[in-house]
Amino acid sequence: MKTLSWLRSFLHLDATRKEENISAESILLQERSVLTALDILEREPGVLLADEVGMGKTFEALGIIACALAANPKAHCIVITPRPVLNDQWIKVAGRFRDKGFYRFAPEALGAVSHIHDLPDACRKHSVVFAPVNVFTSGRSPFERGALLHLWFHQRGIAGPTRAAILRRLNEADLRVEDSRQLFGRSVDATK
């Protein structure tokens, strides 16, 4: 079980509390939200942060990423943004997060992509990659979507009857599942 003292040993959500006149209660709420999200992520594949505007969701999300990196310095995180313009916003906020002393992301830790072909290299170079959701969905050829599905099968270890059932359903939609090496031009290990 991760505790407040563990969290505060490397993450400082109170770094600008006095200068921005933020109450200690608000900081504690953010810290508890991060710890609760981490607890949920140990059991579930995702978590939704849904506080009101101005409550610190962005910093909570960056705090969760910081916890993943603190627990495993070789970890990689992809932040999916609704629109490409938000990649730049996230990079700026993450830089402010670092510069103000909340958490020491290495400068090279942060990167962004706008095309699916750039994703493997960005994930090798950066610990945290920001990508708009349309990288994975809109305007992609069936070939590209199929290669992404291949990566997902590989990463999740899905094979046999489960994989066959998914493919049967997708083949009805004319989606070919291709080896990801054909998309990215090299072997990609989706588990790293």
For residue 96, is it within any domain?
Answer: yes
Question: How confident is the model at residue 145, as a pLDDT?
Answer: 67
Q: What is the mean pLDDT of the chain?
A: 81
pLDDT, tens digit (0-9, with 9 covering 90-100), for 66-106: 999 998 888 888 888 888 888 888 888 888 889 998 998 88
Co-location of 159 and 65 in the same domain: no
For the chain, how many structural domains are there in total? 2
Q: Containing domain of residue 39, as a range?
A: 4-135
pLDDT, tens digit (0-9, with 9 covering 90-100), for 153-190: 877 788 888 888 877 776 655 545 555 454 455 444 44
For residue 122, is it within any domain?
Answer: yes
Question: What's this model's pTM, rounded to 2 decimal places?
Answer: 0.71
Q: Which residues are 81's β-sheet partners?
A: 132
Co-location of 113 and 76 in the same domain: yes
Burial of 132 (0-12, 13-18, 19+ CB in 10 A): buried
Co-location of 104 and 26 in the same domain: yes
For residue 192, is it within any domain?
Answer: no
Residue 62 has pLDDT above 90, yes or no: yes
For residue 190, is it within any domain?
Answer: no
Q: Is 33 helix (H, G, I), strand (E, B) or coil?
A: helix
For residue 104, is it within any domain?
Answer: yes
